[in-house]
Structure 1
Amino acid sequence: MEADVLPCYVVCDFSSSMTDYIGELGAGLREFRAAAHADPVAAARIRVSVIGMARTPWVLQPLRQVVEIVDVAEQSPCAATFFGPVFDFLHARVEEDVNALNDNGLRPLRPIVFFVSDGRPADAAEWPAAHARLTRPELVAFGVGAADPDTLTRIGTARVFLGGVRLGTALAATVLHPRRVHFRSTRPPDAVPRIHGEAG
């Protein structure tokens, strides 16, 4: 019998504007991993990939068990972030991974992209077209530092975290217990809720 699995892509911004927050990214991923260890039943159906982005995207961790999630503390910041290339990259990567899961006798649920950034891309005019092509996954945006709420609200078609919630808590609520997060991917971007307190 096929088993349901939930593919999740954690996209981490490593631009220079994120220099002071790379430690926070690492701590959030470690907290998420600890939450997975504490809830093995939920964690068993999660597969997580970690994607870095700056001028171009790169894979820090391919899709694997959530308890194996990598530490990003040693990543070095880059000069600028381009969002368009990471959305194009995810478009191809998600399709490839979903097909691979099917080939291995698993039944992938709708993927989640958890996008962690301050929302300050260098390709402000170009990225929306690439974002619009990324229709398969649910997109959740998590603002870090002096985050640009307008940009992140456009990105997070399912949910947006803009303060008051730790990264690890937001990841656990979104990925380990997705039924507790009421996705509204059909809402227009200006209707996506801004989250300022604990997720529930």
Structure 2
Amino acid sequence: MKRLWDISPPLFNGSPVFPGDTPYRQRWAASIGPGCPVNVSEITLSPHAGAHADAPLHYADGAATIGDVPLDAFLGPCRVVHCIGVGPLVQPEHLARVESGLPARVLVRTNQRSVVDRWVDDFSAFAPQTLAWLAQRGVRLVGIDTASVDPAASKTLDAHQVLLKHDLRVLENLVLDEVPEGDYELIALPLRLVQADASPVRAVLREL
């Protein structure tokens, strides 16, 4: 069988989310016992918890919900690029060395080790011009191993606006710690949440 890399962080009570966002919570609505043959849990969470796909609705009123977004961008050939220690923004020059034969999906690793148990706000993000540079080369989906393609303090969300302009799909909060740089098959399908601005995904890479 072809090797799989699970690039989704664990989700649990206390999983980090953007400050002010709805945290992950789980409780047991039913438990096996007299008169009850099953365990049933109840989950409350932001759709931006863990690995997730943003919908255009997240950054543009009246835009498509995640349930309306076509799925094809979330499945197919993908390139993982290591940009560890590049600083606050991934610039086009950080990706130029892997430009040849670039597939339609690009995931960028910026962390030596992803932080999955607490919030950090000094993470790396994309420079807006980098996303435009990728779109000009036929990329249709971008991903990053941090909480957002924009810096945590951004109020204008310039990188997200480039996603909107070029109709790019996006994955955030990936964990690429164990993934060598190279080409893979990406499988990261969002749920069909017909009113939502994002969806959790179980993102995996499969060797070609």
Work out which of the two has the higher radius of gyration on C-alpha atoms and give 1 or 2. 2
Structure showing the higher helix proportion among its residues: 1
TM-score by length of 1: 0.31
TM-score by length of 2: 0.30
Greater relative CO (CA pairs within 8 A, separation 6+): 2
